[in-house]
Amino acid sequence: MLRKVEAPEEPETADLTSAASTAVLKPRCALKVAVVGNRRYAEETDENPTEAAARMKRHAARASRAVWQAVIESLPPILGMHLDIPSKDRRTDDHLPRDLRLADFFSRETPRLAVLSSLAAGGDQIGVKTAFDAARNAAEAAIELEAVLPFPEFAYPGDPEAPQREFRPEEAQALTEMAAQARQVLRLDGRYDDRAGRQAAYEQCREVLLQHADLVLAIYDPQKTGRTGGTVETVGRALALGLPVVAVLVSENEARIALYAAPSERPVAADVEWAGALPIDSVRWKEGLAEELHHLLALPHQMPAPAESVSERVKRTQSLGEAVNRLRLTYGEAPLHRWCRGSALKSVFAFAWSSLLQTAEFFAPPPQSDHGGARLESASADITLAPYAAFYARASMLSDAYMRTYRGAFVLAFALAGVAVAAAVGLMTMGTSPPMLAVVILGGLKIGIILFLLVLERVSHKARYQEHATDFRYLAEQLRPIQWLAPLGAAVPAVHLPAHLAPLDPHRTWMPWLVRAIARSTPPVALPSEDRPASPREVTLDNALVRTALERARSEWLEGQVLYHRKNATRMHAIDEGLERLAKGLLWTVLIFAVGAFLLKLLYQLGLVDGARFPFLLGQFPFLLGAGTAILPAFIAALGGIMFQSEARRLKARSEAMYHTLQAQQSDLEARIAALSSSSRRYSGAAWPTAQHLRALSEIMIEETGDWKVLYQMHEIHAG
């Protein structure tokens, strides 16, 4: 959910965007907790409950209720914690608001606590029921159920009069009643009629839960032998994915609680695990849970590291200050840098970059790459899926503004450096007593350019246009795939850069934090359809829905990306080859000028040319040729600097590779669409494999954007 309110008056930014985009835009504070648990306890069977099992379930319910209560009570103090940030960003000179709290980075809506569950008998239903019980007296959080069921309704739980064997009649009734209260019910297209398909559906359901969860509540008997796809395996899978687990361990006599944050923290032996768990009324597990929740909600760099040194604290708080600055820009609470929002400067920077492109395209040879096979029917530049679309539009606008300023500024820096050299050499060619007007014009021009370049370098170093631009572009490109992943209940994957780029890894920054915060406030499935709610209450992933999702991904997402990379490869080819050709042409011109001046002097010395008859040819003309040989190398160097700063050759090669890779992916999606179209079954089990394929595809694109972010983040504008 989003909160849009009128922003404080900022006349300086009024001309940047439409009125809608200047409103404050914030995600709702939310957490998602996946509930898993044993289906049967003690010696009970599907047909025969036992008193021992009933006692264990009562103990589990009491402990689960205590966990929900602890989670709810932890939220207000976490959101009320103050941020330890500097009063001013040392690198940008931006003044940051004082007395900021974590709550200031979320909307004013009541925090949302989403309970994800497959509503299986036993521990799943215990966890959900106790969450509903906690919601009755909880003003600190709004608790909503998001049910993810592995099969269509006819197979799960089945006929109300004769449910599937894994449900007793009262358990099937409980599932139906809980699902009726859910914010969203997502049914996968699992096949219950064969054993392998049934097992695959259970595992896919588990993966959906873990993919969307922040925390796992697991209710199980540690003495019970685990089975494939069971609770113990799910706990191990969650820990391997980096999800913290609250384990409610049950026996016939009591329940205990343990917290795990890594696979190594959970003992293998059941007796050791039970002995290490804490009683329900212990304060220790509550404090540990509150700390874990703080880690989940906190901004990047907000939490101090153990035994943090003074220098580490300074670096961390500065990084936190940068995250705060970027988030406030995204929310619309802070203005863009003045050089990005001034209409005159915007026009100058845009003109500088467009002039460079036109010049490069004029001199560039035709591209050698074969793009003739591209089928570019359409290209979607924006996303429309709520609530992600508003954040995507804001991030794209900010990225465009900062990138325009950065590109225009470095082109101007190199071009003006060449002009300054030309002015200096022009004065030199006029001898020791040049006209006063020439001294004023050329000398003033040279001094003015040098001063402007020094100011440009200082301002750009402080404002860091390229870092802002790449941050907001990375945010936008993380939000873009959700348009095609959300219809199938899939989440954007976490993409990490190689170890040698770890300090610049955007996965560890505020952008993924914001994407996750937005996703937490919405159910797993959102559909980009005009005739139904964006997040419908009930969704069944049948073949028709999966086929529609694939067709839209192919025609909108991939088509747009193929078109973008084709155009970008062509543009970068023009910059690389065109500027190189222009530089070579200028170098040949310098050679001609040098040879011409040399021959004229040689002919004069040999007496072959009469200086009295040709005063200009032997007087001013050699000086002009000499001036050309001094001035043109400055512009050759400027062109080289622009080629280096733009990284045109590398970007061309990368876009070429992405173009061909995505074309192959298009063919793969077409084959999948054809297979779904030829299938006569409504439920084929293809939904989750398709979702995973689209996730892998989004990972390719996010990796490319992450590399682009690191590439540009290393560049700064220099005075030339």
Q: Which domain CATH number covers 34?
A: 3.40.50.450
| Mean pLDDT lowest among 15-19, 217-221, 407-411 | 15-19
Nearest to 463 by CA among 338, 350, 342: 338
State whether 509 and 458 are in the same domain.
Answer: yes
Nearest to 29 by CA among 5, 2, 7: 2
Residue 431's region, left for phi above 0, alpha for psi from -120 to 50, else beta, is left
Specify the higher pLDDT residue, 76 or 308.
Answer: 76
In contact, 185 and 242? CB cutoff 8 Å: no
> What is the tally of helices (H) and strands (E) in the chain?
23, 11
Per-residue pLDDT band for 109 (boundaries 50, 70, 90) equals very high
What per-residue confidence (pLDDT) applies to 373?
A: 43
Specify the higher pLDDT residue, 160 or 677.
Answer: 677
State whether 292 and 410 are in the same domain.
Answer: no
State whether 555 and 654 are in the same domain.
Answer: yes
What per-residue confidence (pLDDT) applies to 709?
A: 72
State whether 144 and 270 are in the same domain.
Answer: yes
What per-residue confidence (pLDDT) applies to 192?
A: 87
State whether 406 and 469 are in the same domain.
Answer: yes
What per-residue confidence (pLDDT) applies to 254?
A: 95
Cα 340 from Cα 316, distance rounded (Å): 28
In contact, 563 and 376? CB cutoff 8 Å: yes
Per-residue pLDDT band for 430 (boundaries 50, 70, 90) equals confident
Asked if the structure places residue 219 within a domain, the reply is yes
Asked if the structure places residue 81 within a domain, the reply is no
Q: Which residues in 648-680 are b (16+ Cβ under 10 Å) and which e?
A: bbebbebbbebbbbbbebbeebeebbeebeeee
What per-residue confidence (pLDDT) applies to 113?
A: 96
Nearest to 71 by CA among 141, 173, 1, 153: 141
Two structure tokens written together for 716: 């700064």
Asked if the structure places residue 320 within a domain, the reply is no
Residue with tokens 């009125």: 19
Helix (H) or strand (E) holding 260: strand 255-260
Specify the higher pLDDT residue, 503 or 384.
Answer: 384
What per-residue confidence (pLDDT) applies to 383?
A: 85
Instruction: Give a three-class secondary structure readout of 108-160.
Output: CCCCEEEEEECCCCCHHHHHHHHHHHHHHCCCCCEEEEEEEECCCCCCCCECC
Cα 495 from Cα 53, distance rounded (Å): 43
Beta pairing, strands 538-540 & 184-187: parallel
Highest mean pLDDT among 159-163, 301-305, 321-325, 399-403: 399-403
State whether 649 and 544 are in the same domain.
Answer: yes
Average pLDDT over residues 389-402: 93
Dump pLDDT digits (tens) for 310-353. Answer: 888 888 888 888 889 999 999 999 888 888 887 888 899 999 99
| Mean pLDDT lowest among 6-20, 400-414, 643-657, 658-672 | 6-20
Highest mean pLDDT among 114-128, 536-550, 554-568: 114-128
> Is residue 569 over pLDDT 80?
yes
State whether 206 and 258 are in the same domain.
Answer: yes
User: Cα angle vertex 322, ends 455, 102, to 5°?
Assistant: 150
CA distances to 32, 41, 129, 293, 419 from 266, in Å: 22, 21, 27, 19, 68
Rg (CA), the chain: 32
State whether 260 and 352 are in the same domain.
Answer: no
User: In the predicted model, what is the mean pLDDT of the chain?
Assistant: 85
State whether 540 and 407 are in the same domain.
Answer: yes
Q: Tally the domains of the chain.
A: 2
Dump pLDDT digits (tens) for 12-50. Answer: 333 444 333 456 899 999 999 999 999 999 988 888 899
Asked if the structure places residue 60 within a domain, the reply is yes
> What is the residue type of 339?
W
Domain stops at, among 239, 271, 297: 297
> Is residue 576 over pLDDT 80?
yes
Cα 580 from Cα 557, distance rounded (Å): 34
Two structure tokens written together for 584: 């070579």
What per-residue confidence (pLDDT) applies to 695?
A: 92
| Mean pLDDT lowest among 290-294, 361-365, 373-377, 390-394 | 373-377
Q: pTM to 2 decimals? A: 0.88
Average pLDDT over residues 593-601: 81
Residue with tokens 């799960």: 156
Asked if the structure places residue 177 within a domain, the reply is yes
Q: Is 34 helix (H, G, I), strand (E, B) or coil?
A: strand
Instruction: Domain of residue 154: give its range.
Output: 28-38+50-76+102-297
Asked if the structure places residue 330 within a domain, the reply is no
Residue with tokens 């959700």: 482
Other Cβ atoms closer than 10 A to 65: 18
Per-residue pLDDT band for 678 (boundaries 50, 70, 90) equals confident
Nearest to 485 by CA among 429, 543, 575, 549: 549
